[in-house]
Amino acid sequence: MRDLTLRKICLVLGMTLLLNGDSFCNGEKLLLEKVIKSNAEWKKILTPKQYHVAREKGTERAFSGEYHDHKGQGIYQCAACGNELFSSKTKFDSGTGWPSFWASVSEDKVREEKDNSFFMKRTEVLCNRCDAHLGHLFEDGPAPTHLRYCINSVILKFVEKKEQK
């Protein structure tokens, strides 16, 4: 009898997960459908510098990129897949030589992963759509979040939108 009750609970839980999974796939998350390409395909699409940053987790030289001192109003997209990543509203001058933001456009646009390379404990920031490496996340940014998304210019594409601030 007890086994039966347990089995019923498992069945209900299983169904709930299944249904939620379904709505996850059919809902607005569909907009973030993954862009998956082979390294050979990315090499055809990206410049060598973009490929090095996006697919080999490289870092451009500080102050060498197009956007570290860029002040336009608009959206910074992923240069690899067009995903809208950061707004000029959250851009600030960090003095580091890399474009810096205190927030992403929304939580589902970027993904964060632990990065223990080069004997450092850092948080890597990736495009959640195409998995391009974008830069790193630090906790020394300005209010209101006190976060600093330190992003390579070369993997961003700025699109002007006048209503942005």
Task: Return d(Cα 165, Cα 153) in angstroms, integer.
Answer: 19
| Bridge partner list, 127 | 110
- The residue (of 55 and 68) whose beta carbon lies closer to Fe ion is 55
Helix (H) or strand (E) holding 134: strand 133-138
Q: Give min distance, CB of 80 to Fe ion, in A.
A: 4
Which residues have a Cβ under 8 Å from the Cβ of 12 and sit 6 or more positions away?
none
Q: Give min distance, CB of 91 to Fe ion, in A.
A: 19
Q: At 53, give phi and psi (nearest 5°).
A: -70, -55
Helix (H) or strand (E) holding 127: strand 122-127
Tell whether residue 125 is a contact of Fe ion (CB under 5 A): no
Which residues in 75-114 contact Fe ion (CB under 5 A)?
A: 78, 80-81, 83
Q: Give min distance, CB of 155 to Fe ion, in A.
A: 8
- The residue (of 53 and 81) whose beta carbon lies closer to Fe ion is 81
Q: For the window 24-63, what string marks contact with Fe ion as x by the rule CB under 5 A?
A: ----------------------------------------
Task: Return d(Cα 132, Cα 77) in angstroms, integer.
Answer: 12
Tokens 């490289």 locate to 58
Task: Return d(Cα 137, Cα 126) in angstroms, integer.
Answer: 10
| Bridge partner list, 86 | 76
- The residue (of 88 and 128) whose beta carbon lies closer to Fe ion is 128
Q: Which stretch binds Fe ion (CB under 5 A): 64-72, 97-105, 115-123, 127-135?
A: 127-135
The residue from 110, 126, 127, 150 that contacts Fe ion (CB under 5 A) is: 127
Active site residue 78: no
Would you please indicate which residues are annotated as catalytic (active-site) residues?
150
Q: Which residues bind Fe ion (CB under 5 A)?
A: 78, 80-81, 83, 127, 129-130, 132
